[in-house]
Structure 1
């Protein structure tokens, strides 16, 4: 409302302020001014109308296509590293770390978070080295996603790997039971 009122007042004042006078001063210089000179002959300068452009409302089809386009990937390279591809990952306590390779570097405000078996794992971090703890033995899938706040911006390809842990209940790992000695 205030902006409309200000524009209206300026529009009303524009014709009064737009009057330009031209005259020659005592030194023979041509002078242009918005005030008529005292005691000097002057002529009114007629100005051409100013250019104006009306703002066009965006068409519905343009707005729809802007909202339906897939967001552009922020990173040209986003992948997990340090995972075995052919053999099992040996981690007796189920703790290991993986690397994240990305290009360009991680932008400020972006964080990395792992997706273990399709579910978010651990806290988001800005470091390209992420740790997993106490992962049970067996086959798992792992991916990394880039977050901005809580919104997922991009996700890497999913890697499948197998965790191999020592079975502590195996008879081979039990200490030998001493055989009783015959009594003398």
Structure 2
């Protein structure tokens, strides 16, 4: 049984070495086939017709590794001014900051009042605050990546929020 399979495989492999024919049609297009056609000529395939690929190994470049240049961002609070008194009975006021150079996409700004993040992280350097309690507060604006890394931070800005009290000074009676 094995002998029959071996003979069959040898016959198939001999058949695969068939002659290749080349001919040109009336439009000038060249055709190749294993079946003879009119005006076809047999082509002898030499070992030279096999594809040979040579791979050039790239030369190593003498490049010294460079450290990534880290961009230094500058954040400063532009409003309210240092030690300013903000007067609002509802505790509403606006904090504005400036950032240089422009932050890359995906970096957000956060506002901390007395070390606590008060507003949602945002792209805009203008924060609208509501319901802040009266008293002395420290403001800081941070540039934060989505992973939570702080890229830059402003200097702390001290402000005073003044709210009128119902309990005013006693009035003199007559």
Q: TM-score under structure 1 normalisation?
A: 0.52
Is 1:104 the equivalent of 2:101?
Answer: yes
Q: Do 1:82 and 1:99's aligned partners in 2 also have CA atoms closer than 8 Å?
A: yes
Q: State whether residues 73 and 154 of structure 1, in contact with CA within 8 Å, keep that contact through their aligned partners in structure 2.
A: no
- What is residue 79 of structure 1 aligned with on the other side? 76
Residue by residue over 1:56-115, the C-alpha shift from the partner in whole angstroms, topping out at 9 and shown as x without a partner, is xxxxxx9xxx7xx9x93442x311111133441112211101111111223211111001
Q: Which residue of 2 aligns with 1:94?
A: 91
In structure 2, which of residues 143, 159, 168 is the aligned counterpart of residue 170 of structure 1? 168
CA 1:88–1:112: 2 relative to 1, 3 Å: same
- Unaligned stretches of 5+ residues in structure 2: 1-46, 50-55
Structure 1 residue runs without a partner (length 5+): 1-34, 38-49, 55-61, 173-184
Aligned length: 120
Secondary structure of 2:120's counterpart equals strand
How far 1:168 sits from its partner (Å)? 2.5
Flag the structure with higher helix content: 1
2:32 corresponds in structure 1 to none
Q: Does the 8 Å contact 1:73/1:153 carry over to 2? A: no
Q: Distance in 1 between matches of 2:134 and 2:160?
A: 7
**Largest Rg, 1 or 2:** 2
Over the aligned positions, Cα root-mean-square deviation in angstroms equals: 3.6
- What's 1:132 paired with? 129
Higher relative contact order (CA 8 A, sep 6+): 2
User: Hey, which bits of structure 1, 4+ residues long, moved more than 4 A?
Assistant: 50-54
